[in-house]
Amino acid sequence: MAATADDTEEHTDASEPSPAPRGRRPGRIAMAVSVFGELLITAGLLLALFVVYSLWWTNVIADRKADKEAATVRRHWAHAADSGPGALDTKDGIGFLHVPSMKNGVVLVEKGTGTDVLNDGVAGYYTDPLKATLPITGRNGNFTLAAHRDGHGAKFHNIDKVKQGDPIVFETRDDWYVYKVFSILPETSKYNVKVIAPIPKESGAKKPGHYITLTTCTPVYTSEYRYVVWGELVRVEKVDSKRTPPAELR
């Protein structure tokens, strides 16, 4: 018997697939967790970029500026016709620090220990709270210096490599001042100004002399305490035309 139109229509409807059930929307808690996760990832990336900037890019910028200023100082020395104590100070720096055991090359020394000075990738000599005694004056005292340990050139990053007996040499236009390390203080309060006194008694020094003191932050990547190295002048050598370093630096 032939199928009726109604039968055909019913057969066609039966063969069509049933509509898929609608997916359930994620709840508010699930959405909040997802957003929070994305924020954490973004924060992590920003933190990573900040670390790269602080510990690497600031070094690049500071080293470039320090190299430029160092070149200016050396040009000044090469063309200066005068001599004497006044030849030491220039607006760009007073000389260069050589500490072979740090393996950080030649470090330009400038006036002051504020971040506006040290962030330029140099070492600075103290003017406050106690004023450093510059070696060129010939007077007894303490040539006190500071530099960053991390970021902004990190010129004293390897200060923990310095040992007793190691040389520290300060280079001026006319002379090499050769010091010998005699005492080290791995950790002290950042408020301990006695370490930069004219007679640094915490080093074991008991009488006036020609001292040099290097200070920087410790532990690494923090500024909670200070690391201190003391040296005493053992001799002064004249700078030759080729600026050949003293034997301790070769």
Residues classed as catalytic: 148, 217
**How far lies 238's CA from each of 52, 57, 67, 71, 143, in Å?**
42, 38, 24, 21, 19
**Cα 168 from Cα 24, distance rounded (Å):** 73
**CA 127 – CA 111 distance, rounded (Å):** 8
Quick one: which of 170, 163, 165 has its CA closest to 133? 170
**Do the beta carbons of residue 124 and residue 131 sit within 8 Å?**
no
Q: Say whether the peptide bond before residue 198 is cis (omega within 30 degrees of 0).
A: no
Q: Please provide residue 105's backbone torsions phi and psi, each rounded to the nearest 5 degrees.
A: 75, -155
Q: Which two tokens stand for residue 55?
A: 């510990």
Q: How far apart are CA 242 and CA 47, in angstroms?
A: 47
What distance in Å separates the CA atoms of residue 143 and residue 132, rounded to the nearest whole number?
A: 5
Rounded to whole angstroms, the Cα distance separating 199 from 232 reads 11
What gap in Å lies between CA 163 and CA 99, rounded to an integer? 11
111, two tokens: 């006036």
